[in-house]
Every structure is written in structure tokens, then in C-alpha cells.
Structure 1
């Protein structure tokens, strides 16, 4: 009890370390969860992020376009993104949308200065989300002591040597095996169309 009082008393006598924001910008960690940024060209409108969002705060609209194929091919239909919006008044920053995106279209950005006076203005469309994609930090380099990725390890592992071919041919098996259709049972002696019943 006395130790806790001494710590509290010491904090009362020391000056508070106050940063003069916005003149002094905070030094945020690289993995800060500030806002969700969109890399629009990576989005294939698979809708995984919108389906997995527990708050249903992602709104996506798209249409299909047909691309003519090269000569001899078939025209291909693909989705074109019309609208991608996130309502940050509903978002709880769980990061599920970023985790489930299979095409790396969503990232965390350390930006946090998007407060507004009206809650309806926290619905940000794809142009604003694309602006935030310019602030995505470069991922840190891999740990030098870590194991290499399995793809690189598989490519650099030498393949096992093939066994050497035999120089002298060995004895050949000249017995002829009967080939049965799949599922048929071997015939017993005395069965079949040419079998004769013994009396």
C-alpha cells in the first residue's frame, strides 16, 4: 500500500509529457490500425469482405463487362467495380475484411485524421479509400533467421538422383498373365462356357 502511494506521489510531482498535436505529429507504430485503404485495381468484386463483415458496413456495386477474346477465343465476362464504400461509423476495426481478401485489395493504413462533425459523413467511397492507399507502410523485411518460404525452398532443393540403369539385362519373365475386366472374380476350375460337369 505504501509503495503504491509513493508511486502516485512521484507522478504528481513530475511534469506531464504532453505532445503538442497537431504541431507535433505522433510517432505511430508501423502496424497501426488507423483506417482501411483500398487498392482498387486488385479488387475482383468477389464480395468476400462484404459477406464476412460482422457489422455489414461495406457496400459494393458492380456490373459485368464482356471483353472480346483474341482470334479463335471466346469472349470473357468479368466484373467491374462501380462502388466500394465503408461506413466507418459502423466499422469496429476488427480487420476481418483485410484478412479474408484473397487478392490483397484491402490494407491497414496508419491514417487516423478523418473525424467529422456529422456521422453521415463517415461513409467513405472508393476514391477516398484509394487516397489512403498511398499511405500504406512498406512491409518490414523478413527476419534473417526465419525459414525461407516453402515455394523458394522447394525450388532450391536439389532433386534426388535417378537410379543408374542396369547394364546387363536380367532374366525376363515370360509368363503370360490373363487380364480380367475390373470387378470380375477369378474363375474356378470347371467353371465357364466350356466346362463339363462330372457325374
Structure 2
């Protein structure tokens, strides 16, 4: 029949038009993310023992950390930087961390205008992080 495709398309459009609204009001209402969503990294510097396992296991060499020895001859974390623009969010660094200092979180609003903003100083971000403990996962 001539125009059958047009009629099918218009019927689908009419069903969607009269049916329930599926859109979300994103900026005002935050989406309900699945519990296993991996969107961002969070570091707890007080837990980090600067072992360097996360640096060695990262496939893209995203992590750069430096450490120094304190008066007790113990390694102390000095800097911890990540190039999130190259990060795969694969989670290998979080799995290998013996103290669980590095975890994946559901913080997803990480869009920036300049590539330089994707170089994260994780120690500074942890100071300004307002993530409740339930959001870290």
C-alpha cells in the first residue's frame, strides 16, 4: 500500500505525543543513576600509602604520584595527579589499591571547556569534595 510507512511513522509519533513524558528535567532534578555507575575518581589522601601500584597498573599511564619519606622512614604522599581526559574509568587502579584510598564515585558533572582542566590534582579535589560517603562506590 502506498504511504504505509508514513502511516506507521505518524502512529508512533501520535502514541509518543499522547503518552507519558519520558524526558527528565535534568538541571533541576538529578538523575537516579544505577549503583554501579563509574563516572569519577575520588582519592582519600589520608588512606594512601604511596605504594605506586595504581601507577603501574594503569593502562594509559594516567596517574602520576610523588612521595617522600618522613622522620619514621615511612612513605608519605606528596602529590597525586590524574589526567582524566585520558582515563578509561576501567577501575583497575581502584581494584589494586591495598588501602582503598582511590575509589570510583557517581559524580558525573565533570564537563570542562579546556583540556588543561582535565589534569586533576587529586589531593586538592579531596579537600573540596562534597560527596557524601554513600555516593562513593
- What range is the shorter-chain TM-score in? 0.7 to 0.9
The corresponding residue for 2:109 is 113
The reply on whether 1:12 has 2:8 as its aligned counterpart is no
- RCO higher in 1 or 2 (8 Å CA, sep ≥ 6)? 2
Matched, 1:37 2:33: no
Given that residues 62 and 79 in structure 1 are in contact (C-alpha distance below 8 angstroms), is that contact kept between their aligned partners in structure 2?
yes
Give the match for residue 191 of structure 1: none
Alpha-carbon distance in 1 for matches of 2:112, 2:75: 33
Which residue does the alignment assign to 1:157?
A: none
| Residue number in structure 2 paired with 1:54 | 59
- 2:124 corresponds in structure 1 to 127
Aligned residues: 127
Gaps of 5+ in 1: 68-76, 141-199
Q: CA deviation at 1:134?
A: 3.2
Preserved contact between residue 50 and residue 59 of structure 1 (Cα < 8 Å): yes
Q: Which has the larger radius of gyration?
A: 1
Deviation digits for residues 98-117 of structure 1, max 9, x if unmatched? Answer: 01101111111100112110
TM-score by structure 1 length?
0.57
- Aligned counterpart in structure 1 of residue 27 of structure 2, from 9, 12, 22: 22
Q: Using the alignment, how far apart are the partners of 1:100 and 1:112 within structure 2?
A: 23
Counterpart for residue 83 of structure 2: 87
Between the aligned partners of 1:7 and 1:93, the Cα distance in structure 2 is 41
Tell me: CA distance 1:61–1:10, structure 2 relative to 1, closer, same or farther (3 Å): farther
